[in-house]
């Protein structure tokens, strides 16, 4: 099932959007497991040439399906005589996207059911299951309140893969692990990083977050390019937690700085806005093109190179090095709900080895007396605290420079060792919206 069937059914209002969401989810549950949702759905939207409203609906259905996939799978499994057939991703995706609309989106029940049945009938492999889809989704609609009540009561057990729930309980305790799962289910709003000294643009409805680094919008429904200040280059989109690492590097005008693994570029923009001479490095040329476009809009400059960070020459070390290393991204589930279902512990262990090699490279790129900030958007200690401890044991010429609560606006974000550790459950009280999960350690190389 590839989501590309078009035989006349696309004339029914709303069907093309459902078809695209169904096909994308089926692919990510099946042959393309491990691919990021945004990397899969955006090319599909472009190929389908959907009008903006349908494209937005397709994205919403796919994203919502993954955000609540554990609850949805549990509900479907209980209502199928033989359970949920994991070896049939097309059927699972059809039922899951239909259930996501009924349970979590503002879609009329009969429309969600009818269009799911039409999709089943349009697929030769699922035609004989159209009646099953109709019956199961109608039951989901009838029992909506019970399903939602159960899901909200225990998102850690029902909406988090077992391997990840076990890890979070071991690392943070059961109460915090439950708070993390609840924050992930709520999703995330839109955070902006303002250029240094820039006022909040008139008409931009937002509020400053602790530390005064970020502006959180109270209403994020307006398309980003239409928000006040976008065309003027007053701000860029960046989660509040992601803004901390570059801030902690505390670069000064004229310093030579390298941003390793730089795309999508929020941290590069921070460093350039501070007046540093920035080398931005990333292996992905397409992602760097987005970075360059953003810098151009902001009126900022950096030397952008599409190269492997491990291959950079070391003959001219830098005043400051920022390494936002590739990681499991388990701290970003609020924004990328497919992450828990696309990753596993084997992926984590492979990434830990890459992080170690990148950290050793970053050390060689840091001049004596220079600073190094290592960070990951992961909740896993092996990718954070464990990497920092092992690095300091390997590199006695480096010392930790503790982070202070004043630098981040909240003592709860600073560990006993003086590192940054944000959790999705931080800043989620009183409707503040939470944070992505980040770890950062600030290091300094001793003078020779």
Enumerate the CATH 3.40.50.150 domain ranges in the chain, comma separated: 191-195+234-445
Phi, psi of 225, deg, nearest 5: -65, -15
The whole-angstrom separation of Cα 233 and Cα 197 is: 13
- State the binding site: 261-267, 282, 308, 324
- State the binding site for S-adenosyl-L-methionine: 261-267, 282, 308, 324
Contact assessment for residue 339 and residue 380, using Cβ atoms and an 8 Å cutoff:
no
Banded model confidence at residue 86, pLDDT cuts 50, 70, 90 = confident
The whole-angstrom separation of Cα 98 and Cα 115 is: 8
Enumerate the CATH 1.10.940.10 domain ranges in the chain, comma separated: 15-153
Banded model confidence at residue 221, pLDDT cuts 50, 70, 90 = confident
Contact assessment for residue 354 and residue 325, using Cβ atoms and an 8 Å cutoff:
yes
* Per-residue pLDDT, 223: 87
Out of 150-159, 202-211, 366-375, least confident range: 202-211
Instruction: Find the distance separating the first CA and the last CA of the chain, reported in whole Å.
Output: 61
Banded model confidence at residue 207, pLDDT cuts 50, 70, 90 = confident
In CATH terms, the superfamily for domain 191-195+234-445 is Vaccinia Virus protein VP39 (3.40.50.150)
Q: Is 377 a catalytic residue?
A: yes
Give rounded-to-5 percent helix, strand, coil for the chain: 50, 15, 35
Region 276-300: what's the mean pLDDT? 94
* Per-residue pLDDT, 11: 60
Spell out the residues 6+ positions from residue 135 whose beta carbon is closer than 8 angstroms to its own. Answer: none
Banded model confidence at residue 8, pLDDT cuts 50, 70, 90 = very low
DSSP element (H, E) containing 400: strand 398-400
Banded model confidence at residue 10, pLDDT cuts 50, 70, 90 = very low
Region 381-387: what's the mean pLDDT? 98
Spell out the residues 6+ positions from residue 49 whose beta carbon is closer than 8 angstroms to its own. Answer: none
* Per-residue pLDDT, 2: 43
Region 147-158: what's the mean pLDDT? 95
* Per-residue pLDDT, 431: 65
In order, the DSSP letters of 360-371 are: HHHHHTEEEEEE
For 125, the token pair is 């492999």
Banded model confidence at residue 9, pLDDT cuts 50, 70, 90 = very low
Per residue in 16-46, pLDDT tens? 999 999 999 999 999 999 899 999 999 999 8
DSSP element (H, E) containing 194: strand 191-194
Residue 43 or 9, more confident: 43
- For the chain, give the percent of residues with pLDDT over 70: 97
Spell out the residues 6+ positions from residue 142 whose beta carbon is closer than 8 angstroms to its own. Answer: none
Choosing from 112, 129, 243, 377, which is the catalytic residue?
A: 377
Strand-pair partners of 20 = none
To the nearest 10 degrees (0 to 180), the angle between helices 69-78 and 52-67 is 70
* Per-residue pLDDT, 158: 95
Which pTM was predicted? Answer: 0.93
Candidate CATH numbers 3.55.10.10, 1.25.40.10, 3.30.10.20, 1.10.940.10; the one for domain 15-153: 1.10.940.10
Mean of all residue pLDDT scores within the chain:
93
Per residue in 232-246, pLDDT tens? 999 999 999 999 999
* Per-residue pLDDT, 432: 75
Region 321-330: what's the mean pLDDT? 97
Sign of CA dihedral 306, 309, 313, 317: positive
């Amino acid at each position: 099932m590839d989501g590309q069937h078009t035989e006349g059914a696309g004339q029914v209002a709303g069907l093309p959007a459902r078809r695209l969401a169904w096909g994308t989810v089926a692919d990510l549950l099946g042959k393309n497991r491990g691919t990021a949702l945004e990397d899969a759905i955006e090319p599909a939207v472009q190929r389908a040439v959907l009008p903006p409203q349908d494209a937005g609906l397709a994205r919403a259905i796919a994203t919502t399906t993954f955000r609540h996939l554990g609850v949805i799978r549990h509900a479907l499994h209980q209502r199928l005589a033989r359970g949920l057939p994991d070896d049939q991703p097309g059927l699972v995706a059809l039922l899951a996207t239909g259930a996501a609309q009924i349970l979590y989106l503002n879609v009329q029940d009969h429309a969600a059911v009818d269009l799911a049945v039409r999709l089943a009938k349009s697929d030769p492999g699922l035609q004989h299951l159209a009646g099953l889809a109709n019956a199961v989704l109608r039951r989901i609609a009838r029992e909506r309140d019970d399903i939602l009540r159960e899901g909200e009561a225990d998102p850690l057990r029902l909406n988090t893969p077992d391997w990840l729930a076990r890890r979070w309980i071991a690392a943070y305790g059961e109460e915090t692990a439950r708070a993390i799962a609840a924050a992930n289910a709520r999703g995330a709003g839109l955070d902006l990083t303002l250029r240094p000294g820039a006022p909040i643009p008139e008409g931009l409805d937002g509020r400053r977050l602790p530390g005064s680094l970020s502006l959180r919008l109270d209403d994020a429904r307006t398309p980003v390019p239409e928000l006040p200040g976008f065309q003027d280059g007053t701000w860029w989109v960046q989660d509040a937690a992601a803004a901390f690492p570059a801030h902690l590097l505390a670069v000064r005008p004229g310093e030579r700085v390298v941003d390793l693994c730089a795309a999508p570029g929020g941290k590069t923009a921070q460093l350039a806005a501070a007046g540093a001479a920035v080398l931005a490095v990333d292996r992905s040329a397409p992602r760097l093109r987005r970075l360059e476009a953003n810098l151009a809009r902001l009126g900022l400059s950096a030397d952008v190179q599409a190269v492997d960070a491990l291959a950079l020459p070391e003959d001219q070390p830098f005043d400051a090095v920022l390494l936002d290393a590739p990681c499991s991204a388990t701290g970003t589930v609020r924004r990328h709900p497919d992450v828990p279902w696309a990753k596993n512990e084997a992926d984590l262990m492979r990434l830990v080895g890459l992080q170690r090699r990148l950290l050793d490279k970053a050390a060689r790129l840091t001049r004596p007396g220079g600073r190094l900030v290592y960070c990951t958007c992961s909740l896993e200690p092996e990718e954070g605290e464990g990497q920092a401890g092992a690095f300091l044991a390997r590199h006695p010429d480096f010392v930790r420079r503790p982070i202070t609560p004043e630098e981040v606006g909240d003592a709860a974000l600073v560990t006993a060792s003086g590192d940054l550790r944000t959790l999705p459950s931080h800043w989620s009280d009183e409707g503040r919206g939470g944070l992505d999960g980040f770890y950062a350690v600030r290091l300094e190389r001793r003078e020779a």
